[in-house]
A and B are shown apart, each in its own frame.
Chain A
Amino acid sequence: MSRRTKGNFHQTLAPLLFLTPNMLIFGVFIILPAVVGLRLALYEWSILGGGEFVGLANFRRLIGDEMFWITTRNTLIYVLSVVPLLLVSSLGLGALTAKRLRAVAVFRSFYYLPAMLSFVIVAIVWRWILGDELGIVNYMLRQVGMQPVSWLTAPGMARGSVIFATVWMRTGFFMVMFVAGLQAIPDEFYDAAAIDGASPRQTFFRVTLPLLKPTVLVVTVLSTIEAFKAFEIIYVLTGGGPGYATKLMVHNIYELAFEQDRMGYAASNSIVLLIIIGVLTFSQFAVSRGEFTNE
């Protein structure tokens, strides 16, 4: 048994010192607000009028709050739609653009372009496209004698529209991750599969996909977190409507905090959202952990 050495300055203190500035920023802007938010959730707090300690009353109130359950359900529908669609579309585009072909970089840039736009701009553009009376799509439908579609005014269509707009915008971002993952797979695996007579379909499911699992996990975790936190694109595109058909948890938190001036209750909603995201992320890593151990 070798004796454990204390290590010299380069091995012990220096790395910590390098990390200190970043840890300070992380502490001040992430940890501290999170702690303050947790404290806030225990208060009945008005943004202008101060607060009163109420313990866990804000969390108990959540159970009977209809809007909390409606927005939670809407958020789950949104996440369960957006994440698989993003995975499939970004993996598909990644597979197409990972090949070393002429001008492929142009296509990659083209697909990545929406990810560079702000959520608000994307939402305004889609509002112009999908508007019932003044939208471009319905205008074209009318021109060819077809009935206009209630893209944003029927609850089901509005949900579909916000999901589509989100996937359209974020596919390019996750595509880049898949391109990197695909290009990291050694050609020898494909050569071996070809020698064994594997079809393209077999190659994809037996070679490519298993080797892409780390990337799939990262994309799943990131897109899940992002989908749970979705706000701007929906707020501008539908305002959470019609009614509250597309109102998500973050939108509800925003209204509670800034319109109803119930900062403490809004903080308790945020804590619940944090727990949901935390549990899901932990589960995704836990499920995937065993599969990576042999790689």
Chain B
Amino acid sequence: MRHVAFLALIVALLAPGLLFAGGQEEAAGAGAETEESAAEPVELSVLWFNDANESEVFQEAMSDYLEANPNVTLNVQVVPFQDYENKLKLMIAGGDPPDIARVTNNHIAMLYQSMLPLEGNMEGIEELKSSFYDSSLSLATFNGSTVALPTEATANGMLVNKTYFENVGIDIDELSKTWTWEEYVDAMEQAIEGNEQAQFGIAYDYSPHRWSTLLYAAGGRFLNEDETAMNFNTPEAVDTLNFFKRLHDEGLAPKSVWMGSEKPQELFMSGLAVTHIGGSWWINAYASDIENFEWGAVHMPKREMSSSVPGGKFVATFEESANTEAALDVMRAFSQQGPNAHYSANTYNISARTDNADIDYPSRSEDFTVMATDLANTPAYAAEDWKSPELNKIYSYIREQIVEMLIGNQTPEETAQRIHDRGNEFFE
């Protein structure tokens, strides 16, 4: 018994040491690493999310750089998009952000304060900035500082099942050049009527960002002119909400996307939905996954105008990243014309570089042209709205309020007022 007690004493005394021994070793390792010179081997942690094959193509695009810099290795961790923002936030809050992260413009709006400003830190940044579209760069510019480098520009837009429209004698490419919301509804109804498998006119991404495409087309917006408060209790917002409710009430839009949890892309790919309002990133996925019907991008229908919503994907490093110098070097290399062209073409994305406007995609170039045209017609304030951290904080709330309206628990006017008021709470 005495031996057992002695053993217990030993275990109790050793336990704290055992618990913390690993931590001390890591800390010592980190300390040693900071003393190493830049030429020493450096492993960069890269946090990435995929729309389709982006992580793979990113590494392909960097192969020449990695060959020329054998001391650099990329440790790419791919995280599902739905978990990505929280993962990144927790890493930053824990003082251990990745060296490089792929981010959207919405992520930047939330996290820009922790990102490393490129001016004064990245060599040749001014020249590099001049190679990007202003609209892309502006999404990564806060308080006069650029905090991320654009990799691709994205546009909200409409993809349609062309076979269904052909079957009912509608030239959808021609019609969509000028169509209004009413003409769009009429065309959807004809396509459903004339195709047995078609059940719905539109599968609409479950996203306030995508929903806002209709808002901007109606001439509305979320924020006021100087982006200091909400401006959502307007006739344009109510008009858009009414139209969206009508799509659901008349069975043109399935309830299962906004009120359930089914994926709009699955409804479109299965042929149940005639059109899909999503974004340019779907072109990549559809190019490989849809084989049994013809599809393509068409212009968004007009109310006051034909609109899209600009967005983009970027790469950034952080104030507290362990290897900022090497990370900046990789980011700069990835943003050069050659790697960017390879990346954009092989991920079917619109390049954020002006000198890559005419890159050869393996296919589907005409779809990008359509979306780029809509993007060119989009009012500049669409991007300004979605740069707002306050608007991004009520993202889920906007979605819930729209669904409450679709269920019939509140009117479009009440919905607009509630979103307006909640947003202003954050501005105040």
Contacts and interface: CB of A to CB of B under 8 A. Distances in A.
Interface of A: 9-10, 13-14, 17-18, 20-21, 24, 47-49, 127, 131-134, 150, 152-155, 158, 236-245, 247, 255, 258-261
Contacts of A240: 400
Contacts, number: 115
Contact of B111 (A48, A132, A245): A48
B260 A241 contact: yes
Given A10-B1, A17-B9, A241-B403, A134 B262 contact: yes
Given A17-B11, A242-B403, A134 B393 contact: no
A243 B403 contact: yes
Nearest to B85: A258
Interface stretch (B120-128, B149-157, B266-274, B366-374): B266-274
Nearest to A241: B403
A89 to B, nearest CB: 25
A97 B394 CA distance: 50
A154 B114 CA distance: 41
**Which of B254, B256, B393 is packed against the most chain A CB atoms within 10 Å?**
B256
Contact of B261 (A14, A18, A238): A238
B76 interface: no
A242 B206 CA distance: 12
A155 B406 CA distance: 12
16 contacts: A17-B9, A17-B11, A48-B89, A48-B111, A131-B256, A131-B261, A132-B260, A132-B262, A150-B255, A152-B256, A152-B260, A153-B259, A238-B260, A241-B259, A243-B404, A243-B409
Contacts of A243: 259, 400, 403-404, 406-407, 409
Q: Chain B, interface size: which category?
A: 35 or more
B400 to A, nearest CB: 5
B409 A18 contact: no
B68 interface: no
B255 A49 contact: no
B26 to A, nearest CB: 17
Nearest to A133: B256
A17 B11 CA distance: 8
**B contacts with A: majority SS:** helix
Contacts of B5: 9-10, 13-14, 17
A24 B396 CA distance: 39
A14 B4 contact: yes
Contacts of B15: 20-21, 24
Contacts of A20: 11-12, 15
Given A20-B12, A24-B19, A48-B89, A255 B396 contact: yes
A48 B396 CA distance: 20
Contacts of A241: 259-261, 400, 403
B93 A242 contact: no
A47 to B, nearest CB: 5
A179 to B, nearest CB: 34
Contacts of B260: 131-132, 152-153, 158, 238, 241-242
A237 B260 CA distance: 9
Nearest to A21: B15
B42 interface: no
Nearest to B409: A243
A153 B393 contact: no
B267 A134 contact: yes
Contacts of A17: 5, 8-9, 11-12
Given A10-B2, A127-B261, 17 more contacts: A9-B5, A14-B4, A17-B9, A17-B11, A20-B11, A132-B255, A133-B199, A133-B267, A133-B272, A134-B256, A152-B261, A153-B256, A153-B259, A242-B255, A243-B406, A243-B407, A258-B86
Contact of B404 (A154, A238, A244): A244
Contacts of B1: 10
Contacts of B259: 152-154, 241-243
B393 A259 contact: yes
A18 B254 contact: no
A131 B259 CA distance: 11
A48 B113 contact: yes
Contacts of B8: 14, 17-18
